[in-house]
Structure 1
Amino acid sequence: MAMGSSHSQSQTASNDGSRATGVEGGKAFPIPTGMSLSHWLQGVRASRLLDHRTTEALPASADVVIIGSGMSGTLTAYELLTRPNPPKSIVILEARELCSGATGRNAGHCKPDQYRGFGKYGKLFGEEQAKKLLEHELETWTRLVEFVEKEKVECDLWVGDTLDVAMSQGVADKALAVFEAYKAYGGKVDHIKYISDPIEAEKVSRLKGAQALWAWKASTLYPWKLVAHLMNTCLSKGLNLQTWTPVTSVTASQATAGRWDVHTARGAIRTPTVVYATNAYTSAILPAFAKYIQPTAHMCNRVVPPRAFAGSHALQHSYGVLAAGGGLYSINPRCSSDGIVLFGGSNPNQGQLKAYLDADPARLFDDGLSNFKPVTDAVNDLTAAAFEGWNEDAPAPGVGPDYAWSGIIGLSADSLPFIGALPDLPGQWICAGFHGHGMAHIFTCAPGLVTLMQGGTWADTGLPECLELTTERLQKIGDTPNFNKPVV
Structure 2
Amino acid sequence: MGAMPAKHALPSWWRTQLHQLDDYVSSKSVPTESDIVIIGSGISGASVAYHILQQHKGHNPPRVTILEARQACSGATGRNGGHLKPDPYSFIGELAAEYGPEAAEEVAEFERSHVDTISNLVKSEMIDCDLVVTKAIDVQLNPRECKKAKASFDHLPGIGIKSAKRVNFTDQKEAEVRSRVKGALGCFSYEAGHVWPYKLVLHILGRCVEQGGKLYTHTPAQYISPEKDASDRWTINTPRGTIKTKHVVFACNAYTSAILPMYSNKIVPVRGVCCRIVPTFPVKRLTETYTLRWSWSEFDYLIPREDGSVIVGGAWSKYYRDTGTWYNNAKDNEMIEPAKEYFDGYMQRNFHGWEESGAYVDQIWTGIMGYSADSLPHIGQVPGKQGQFIIAGFTGHGMPQAWLSGKGIAAMVSEGIPFAESGIPRIFETTQGRLQKSRNDILGTKGEVAKSSARL
TM over 0.5, yes or no?
Answer: yes
Distance 1:153 1:56 in 2: 29
Distance 1:366 1:110 in 2: 25
Give the alignment partner of residue 486 of structure 1, picking from 434, 442, 452.
Answer: 452
Q: Which amino acid aligns with 1:435?
A: T
Given that residues 157 and 222 in structure 1 are in contact (C-alpha distance below 8 angstroms), is that contact kept between their aligned partners in structure 2?
Answer: yes
Q: Which amino acid aligns with 1:317?
A: E
Secondary structure, aligned partner of 1:62: strand
Distance 2:226 2:126 in 1: 42
Structure 1 residues 286 and 261: alpha-carbon distance in aligned structure 2, compared to 1, 3 A threshold: same
Distance 1:352 1:152 in 2: 44
Q: How many angstroms does 1:195 deviate by?
A: 0.9
* TM-score with structure 2 setting the length: 0.91
Distance 2:442 2:362 in 1: 31
Give the alignment partner of residue 348 of structure 1, picking from 309, 317, 332.
Answer: 317
Give the alignment partner of residue 160 of structure 1, picking from 116, 134, 139.
Answer: 134
Corresponding position of 2:29: 57
372-381 vs 49-58, which moves further: 372-381
Give the alignment partner of residue 275 of structure 1, picking from 245, 249, 260.
Answer: 249
Q: How many angstroms does 1:357 deviate by?
A: 4.1
Give the alignment partner of residue 421 of structure 1, picking from 372, 381, 385.
Answer: 381
Structure 1 residues 172 and 91: alpha-carbon distance in aligned structure 2, compared to 1, 3 A threshold: same
Distance 1:332 1:207 in 2: 14
Identical aligned residues as a percent:
34
Is 1:365 matched up with 2:358? no
Corresponding position of 1:193: 168
Q: How many angstroms does 1:306 deviate by?
A: 4.3
Q: Deviations over 1:339-361 (max 9, x none)?
A: 21111246422415644345xx6
Q: How many angstroms does 1:9 deviate by?
A: 8.4
Distance 1:319 1:353 in 2: 26
Distance 1:134 1:429 in 2: 24
Q: Which amino acid aligns with 1:421?
A: Q
Corresponding position of 2:55: 83
Given that residues 38 and 67 in structure 2 are in contact (C-alpha distance below 8 angstroms), is that contact kept between their aligned partners in structure 1?
Answer: yes
Given that residues 371 and 395 in structure 2 are in contact (C-alpha distance below 8 angstroms), is that contact kept between their aligned partners in structure 1?
Answer: yes
Q: How many angstroms does 1:381 deviate by?
A: 6.4
Distance 2:43 2:293 in 1: 27
For structure 1, which runs of at least 5 residues remain unmatched after alignment? 1-7, 13-31
Given that residues 162 and 218 in structure 1 are in contact (C-alpha distance below 8 angstroms), is that contact kept between their aligned partners in structure 2?
Answer: yes
Equivalent residue pairs, number: 443
Distance 2:152 2:120 in 1: 29
Q: Which amino acid aligns with 1:413?
A: A
Secondary structure, aligned partner of 2:120: helix
5 Å matches for 1:214-225?
A: 214-225=188-199
Corresponding position of 1:241: 215
Given that residues 304 and 341 in structure 1 are in contact (C-alpha distance below 8 angstroms), is that contact kept between their aligned partners in structure 2?
Answer: yes
Q: How many angstroms does 1:457 deviate by?
A: 2.3
124-133 vs 51-60, which moves further: 124-133
5 Å matches for 1:15-30?
A: none
Corresponding position of 2:14: 40
Cα RMSD between the aligned structures?
2.1
Distance 1:472 1:304 in 2: 47
Given that residues 451 and 460 in structure 1 are in contact (C-alpha distance below 8 angstroms), is that contact kept between their aligned partners in structure 2?
Answer: no
161-170 vs 452-461, which moves further: 452-461
78-87 vs 399-408, which moves further: 78-87
Secondary structure, aligned partner of 2:317: coil
For structure 2, which runs of at least 5 residues remain unmatched after alignment? 444-450
Q: Which amino acid aligns with 1:356?
A: T
349-358 vs 185-194, which moves further: 349-358
Given that residues 28 and 240 in structure 2 are in contact (C-alpha distance below 8 angstroms), is that contact kept between their aligned partners in structure 1?
Answer: no
Q: Deviations over 1:206-259 (max 9, x none)?
A: 111111111111111101111111111111110111110111110057753311
Corresponding position of 2:292: 321
Given that residues 41 and 251 in structure 2 are in contact (C-alpha distance below 8 angstroms), is that contact kept between their aligned partners in structure 1?
Answer: yes
Corresponding position of 1:22: none
Q: Which amino acid aligns with 1:192?
A: V
